[in-house]
């Protein structure tokens, strides 16, 4: 390949500028911005430097508008510097790096203004996000959408120690199953993590592993200076020394400088004529320049490696780098949080011909013509289509979904019926839903949906059982038109896939309505990925079932206790736990609308469902009831004016609550039964109302729960109950100052019948009655008779 030397020259100059600006951003935050206590430090400086050349090659020349990038968290200053040069990031935000509303420590889709494609921060997740984003692009294309958009490459800049994160390996396996393509991972092989220097020979493990998964591996180890030196007499011996030098030593020598390299080379190679001359011809500075000219810092090597890719197979680039290259602490194993002193920065500034006070000037100190550089940036292919965030029209959703009711049903069963009903029709909604499950499709009741809509695969694959006419309940034909993505058992993958599907409208300009199913306890297995997906503002629906101790005989770690609290606490996720299927029908319709809102109100949706079949209430779904269900609660039995006690329940324990209220009614007055469909939305509404009243004095706004509880007399007690942690509803007592007893589950793992376990955990009818008695005066209440 012949690359225009002037092009490389300009790219190198910009890379130097990027390194300067990113370092100045950090320096400014640490030494210049006033009152910065607590905002100092951070492992950015050394980590960023590693990637200045590679990212400059990508952003200023290699990337196309349709490409999307996840940048290694600590390279955020480099990313912001590049965007600053493009004119997409302001000086003010850079000056406020890591400060309130300033440029973010880690690139953030939702908090940064400069076109971050994928957020990063929790290492490993952004990397996997690119993999699933690529699969989603294939999904969109296979369904005949985004026809006029060229396929983009999904690119991750990966730290070498980041590769320790297990979720990357889980994703790799899934990618292989789905015929992954259009993806590049560039490993910043600086052989350093946060604490230390990485294991020897790690690259070999990476190489074999990636090849094993069908990836191309491109190792960019030597820069062009090195390659030239290798061609000199004695060059082979130098190359051999470099190849055999342990990571620790190489890092240490890079830190110590040219003289230290010379001494080691002499001691270890001895007097060998040609190679000794090769070394002696160079001054200490030149020797250091040569030895630190690893591939990842050499514009020509990186640029050519990227440009040489002429296919859509996945590629892993292993780019050798030095952590902190060009900075006084380059290569030092403790440099992760390394910062330059004022004196060091001053020296570096003048070396680069940057005048005092002109540190932010875009082209200060560069020899190129500023107008030419400006034109170069304006013509960078990456920039040609302006901002890269796309949008897509809202998909229409009916007021509520229909289903064929049975007198007894579980919410999990209802979920299956509701999706089946959607699948039967030919609505736009039906065509935009895409489901996924980590090997629990059948056991979470998605079977009927999949039977109708099929499995997704880029190539047709018949279900052999079906073609052989072997009776089976499920049709597993796979095709490019399929709408279910079957995953292996990896909940991290599930949530990162949700993150990718749920951003399709902004990445591909085509809206998808993703629905994930999994077992409720295993939300915890994928929790950081769920958090990550929400943080990026991806929009999806999670149906988690079975949940709680209600799945009784399954016992063990299949029981979930904490998930209702996770549902409440997770930002960006509205959580619901309906008891009846007509509630679920309302909630799912609401959910599909909520997932599409872009007014700062919408988000993702979590449905905590149960396998317990319970008697369904027969009623008309009125608009009032409907909105109460989505706001989080309604009176299943309205309390009278002199109510002594109210039972507030969530989810599968509805029959216990109903029974307890019946018995309590025999000896207590005006009992109320509050059905809580969303502790999360109720609580959020309550908090928001209080804030509004504080912020705008005189505003009378009451939240839904305040209105519901307002008529209760002061002495009325509240018993709350759910199959989950009692703290979920315990706050209800504080809303209007009622005494409350919170029942729930605090221990897990016991097997038994539902009756056994509800009794064991104190969430059965008698436990509710006991709690009500402790809150009220009066005659003893008749209890439920126990089966013996």
Ligand X SMILES: Cc1ncc(C[n+]2csc(CCOP(=O)(O)OP(=O)(O)O)c2C)c(N)n1
47 makes contact with ligand X (CB under 6 A): yes
Out of 96, 190, 251, 411, the only residue in the binding site for Mg ion (CB under 5 A) is 190
> Residue 524 CB, nearest distance to ligand X (Å)?
15
DSSP 548: G
What does the per-residue mask of binding to Mg ion show for 301-340, with x meaning CB under 5 A?
----------------------------------------
> Residue 344 CB, nearest distance to ligand X (Å)?
20
User: CA–CA separation, 785 vs 787, rounded Å?
Assistant: 6
- For ligand X, the binding residues in 323-342 under the rule CB under 6 A are 323, 336
Structure tokens at 229: 């030196």
User: CA–CA separation, 564 vs 683, rounded Å?
Assistant: 12
159 makes contact with Mg ion (CB under 5 A): yes
Compare residues 140 and 197 and give the one whose CB is closer to ligand X. 197
Q: What is the CA radius of gyration of the chain?
A: 31
Contact of residue 298 among ligand X, Mg ion, none (CB under 5-8 Å per partner type): none
> Residue 54 CB, nearest distance to Mg ion (Å)?
13
User: Among all residues, whose Cβ is closest to ligand X?
Assistant: 159
Contact of residue 50 among Mg ion, ligand X, none (CB under 5-8 Å per partner type): ligand X
Compare residues 193 and 441 and give the one whose CB is closer to ligand X. 193
Contact of residue 395 among ligand X, Mg ion, none (CB under 5-8 Å per partner type): none
Compare residues 117 and 162 and give the one whose CB is closer to ligand X. 162
User: CA–CA separation, 532 vs 523, rounded Å?
Assistant: 13
User: CB–CB of 574/594 below 8 Å?
Assistant: yes
> Residue 202 CB, nearest distance to ligand X (Å)?
10
> Residue 199 CB, nearest distance to ligand X (Å)?
12
- Hey, how many other C-beta atoms are within 10 angstroms of the C-beta on 734? 10
User: CB–CB of 549/521 below 8 Å?
Assistant: no
Compare residues 159 and 365 and give the one whose CB is closer to ligand X. 159
Contact of residue 74 among Mg ion, ligand X, none (CB under 5-8 Å per partner type): ligand X
Catalogue the long-range contacts made by 171-175 (C-beta closer than 8 Å, 24 or more residues apart): 171/127, 171/128, 171/131, 171/132, 171/492, 171/493, 171/496, 172/131, 172/209, 172/210, 172/213, 173/213, 173/488, 173/490, 174/131, 174/487, 174/488, 174/490, 174/493, 175/131, 175/134, 175/135, 175/213, 175/314
User: CA–CA separation, 600 vs 602, rounded Å?
Assistant: 6
Render 367-427 in DSSP notation, one character per residue. Answer: SS-HHHHHHHHHT-GGGTT-------PPPP--SS------SEE-HHHHHHHHHHHHHHS--
Crossing angle (nearest 10°) for helices 258-269 and 247-256: 130
Out of 160, 298, 582, 583, the only residue in the binding site for ligand X (CB under 6 A) is 160
Compare residues 152 and 159 and give the one whose CB is closer to Mg ion. 159
Compare residues 19 and 140 and give the one whose CB is closer to ligand X. 19
Cα angle: 315, vertex 316, 317; to 5 degrees: 115
Out of 112, 117, 160, 174, the only residue in the binding site for Mg ion (CB under 5 A) is 160
Out of 43, 65, 235, 509, the only residue in the binding site for ligand X (CB under 6 A) is 43
What does the per-residue mask of binding to ligand X show for 68-107, with x meaning CB under 6 A?
-----xx---------------------------------
Residues near ligand X (CB under 6 A), total = 18
239 makes contact with ligand X (CB under 6 A): no
- For ligand X, the binding residues in 161-200 under the rule CB under 6 A are 161-162, 188, 190, 192-194
Angstrom CA distances, 434 to 59, 390, 429, stand at: 33, 20, 10
User: CA–CA separation, 473 vs 476, rounded Å?
Assistant: 10
Compare residues 82 and 123 and give the one whose CB is closer to ligand X. 123
Residues that bind ligand X (CB under 6 A): 43, 47, 50, 73-74, 122-123, 159-162, 188, 190, 192-194, 323, 336
């Amino acid at each position: 390949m012949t690359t225009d030397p002037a092009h490389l020259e300009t790219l190198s100059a910009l890379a130097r500028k990027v390194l300067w600006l990113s370092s100045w951003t950090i320096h400014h935050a640490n030494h210049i911005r006033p009152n910065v206590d607590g905002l100092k430090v951070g492992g950015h400086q050394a980590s960023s430097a590693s990637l200045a050349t590679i990212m400059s090659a990508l952003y200023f020349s290699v990337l196309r508008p349709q490409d999307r990038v996840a940048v290694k968290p600590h390279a955020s200053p480099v990313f912001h510097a590049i965007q600053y040069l493009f004119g997409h990031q302001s000086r003010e935000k850079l000056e406020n790096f890591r400060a309130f509303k300033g440029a973010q420590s880690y690139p953030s889709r939702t908090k940064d203004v400069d076109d971050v494609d994928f957020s990063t921060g929790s290492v490993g997740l952004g990397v996997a996000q690119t993999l699933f984003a690529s699969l989603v692009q294939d999904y969109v294309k296979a369904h005949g959408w985004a026809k006029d958009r060229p396929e983009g490459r999904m690119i991750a800049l990966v730290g070498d120690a980041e590769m320790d994160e297990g979720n990357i390996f889980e994703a790799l396996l899934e990618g292989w199953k789905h015929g992954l393509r259009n993806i590049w991972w560039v490993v910043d092989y600086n052989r350093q993590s946060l604490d230390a220097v990485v294991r020897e020979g790690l690259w070999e493990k990476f190489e074999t592993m990636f090849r094993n998964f069908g990836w191309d591996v491109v190792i960019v180890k030597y820069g062009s200076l090195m390659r030239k030196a290798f061609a000199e007499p004695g060059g082979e011996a130098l190359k051999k020394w470099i190849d055999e030098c342990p990571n620790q030593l190489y890092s240490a020598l890079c830190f110590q400088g040219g003289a230290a390299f010379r001494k080691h080379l002499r001691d270890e190679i001895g007097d060998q004529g040609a190679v000794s001359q090769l070394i002696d011809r160079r001054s200490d500075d030149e020797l250091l320049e040569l030895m630190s000219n690893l591939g990842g810092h050499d514009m020509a090597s990186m640029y050519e490696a990227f440009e040489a890719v002429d296919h859509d197979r996945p590629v892993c680039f292993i780019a050798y780098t030095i952590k902190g290259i060009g900075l006084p602490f380059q290569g030092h194993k403790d440099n992760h949080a390394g910062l330059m002193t004022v004196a060091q920065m001053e020296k570096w500034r003048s070396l680069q011909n940057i005048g005092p006070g002109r540190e932010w000037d875009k082209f200060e100190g560069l020899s190129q013509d500023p107008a030419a550089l400006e034109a170069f940036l304006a013509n960078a292919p990456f920039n040609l289509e302006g901002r890269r965030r796309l949008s897509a029209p809202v998909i229409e959703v009916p007021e509520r979904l229909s289903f064929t009711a049975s007198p007894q049903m579980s919410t999990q069963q209802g979920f299956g019926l509701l999706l089946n009903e959607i699948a039967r029709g030919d609505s736009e909604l039906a065509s935009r839903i895409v489901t996924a499950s980590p090997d629990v499709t059948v056991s979470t009741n998605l079977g009927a949906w999949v039977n109708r809509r099929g499995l997704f695969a880029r190539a047709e694959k018949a279900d052999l059982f079906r073609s052989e006419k072997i009776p089976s309940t499920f049709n597993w034909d796979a095709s490019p038109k399929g709408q279910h993505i079957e995953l292996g058992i990896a909940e991290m993958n599930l949530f990162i896939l949700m993150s990718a599907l749920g951003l399709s409208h902004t990445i591909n300009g085509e809206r998808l309505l993703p629905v994930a199913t999994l077992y409720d306890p295993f939300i915890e297995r994928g929790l950081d990925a769920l958090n990550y997906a929400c943080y990026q503002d991806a929009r999806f629906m999670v149906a988690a079932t079975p949940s709680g101790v209600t799945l009784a005989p399954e016992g063990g770690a299949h029981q979930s206790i904490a998930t209702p609290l996770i549902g409440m606490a997770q930002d960006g996720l509205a959580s619901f736990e309906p008891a009846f299927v007509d509630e679920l029908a309302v909630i799912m319709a609401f959910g599909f609308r909520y997932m599409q809102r872009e007014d700062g109100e919408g988000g993702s949706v979590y449905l905590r469902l149960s396998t317990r079949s319970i008697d369904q209430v027969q009623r008309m779904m009125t608009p009032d009831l409907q909105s109460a269900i989505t706001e989080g609660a309604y009176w299943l039995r309205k309390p009278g004016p002199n109510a002594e006690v109210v039972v507030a329940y969530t989810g599968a324990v509805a029959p216990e609550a109903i029974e307890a209220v019946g018995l309590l009614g025999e000896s207590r007055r005006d009992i109320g039964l509050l059905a809580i469909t969303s502790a999360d939305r109720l609580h959020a509404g309550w908090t928001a109302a209080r804030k509004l009243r504080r912020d705008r004095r005189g505003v009378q706004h009451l939240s839904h729960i305040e209105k519901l509880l307002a008529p209760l007399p002061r002495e009325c007690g509240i018993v709350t109950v759910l199959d989950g942690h009692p703290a979920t509803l315990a706050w209800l007592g504080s809303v209007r100052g009622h005494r409350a007893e919170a029942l729930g589950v605090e221990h897990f793992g016991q097997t038994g019948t539902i009756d056994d376990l509800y009794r064991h955990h104190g969430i059965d009818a008698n436990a509710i009655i006991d709690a009500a008695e402790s809150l009220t005066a009066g005659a003893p209440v008749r209890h439920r008779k126990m089966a013996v």
